[in-house]
Amino acid sequence: MEGEKIESCPEFGPKYEFCPDADWWKQGISYGAHQTERLSSPPPSLLEQEFNERADRWETEAAIHSSPGSKFLHKDFVWIITRGKIIVPLILDRLNTSQSDWFWALENITQENPAKDAVDFESAVKAWQEWGRDHSTR
């Protein structure tokens, strides 16, 4: 017995017919990664993909300009605001991670300004987030 190699016996191995993705551990994937992958949100819509590409480009290219005209007449910014109210939830989500000035877009799309009394960027973000919850933008 000593030094003998024990061969696996597949007929005695666990059977997972009840759970088709239960062999994640055989693929060298951690449980946490498996759960994250399995429970992750659905892929972004085409609108969301296009918005993210354009928003990323606008934020990068407009960051070097101090002129409001250069920022707010940028082709990607114009594309975003011309989508209308359907784009508002995406802009509100972007406010959570971006330090860019999305307030002008929000005000012009919604024709409202809940952040008019905001004293700083964080309070303006908070005002718009509350507005989004009150208006059920998602």
Locate tokens 């082709």: which residue?
75
Give the three-state DSSP class for 135.
coil
Q: By the 8 A CB rule, do 22 and 35 touch?
A: no
| pLDDT at site 66 | 83
Mean pLDDT along residues 24-29:
59
pLDDT > 90 in the chain, percent = 55
pLDDT (tens digit per residue) in 63-94: 888 888 888 999 999 999 999 999 999 999 99
Mean per-residue pLDDT, 25-49: 70
Tokens of 63: 């960051």
pLDDT at res. 77: 95
pLDDT greater at residue 99 or residue 11:
99
- Give pLDDT, residue 106: 97
Cβ neighbours of residue 9 under 8 Å, at least 6 residues apart? none
* DSSP H or E run through 71: helix 68-72
Tokens coding 131: 């507005």
Give the Cα separation of 135 and 138 in Å (integer): 9
Domain boundaries, the chain: 10-39, 46-134
CA neighbor of 124 nearest in space, from 105, 50, 86: 105
Q: How far apart (Å, rounded) are the C-alpha atoms in residues 16 and 22?
A: 6
**pLDDT at 108 (0 to 100):** 95
Average pLDDT, the chain: 82
pTM for this prediction: 0.68
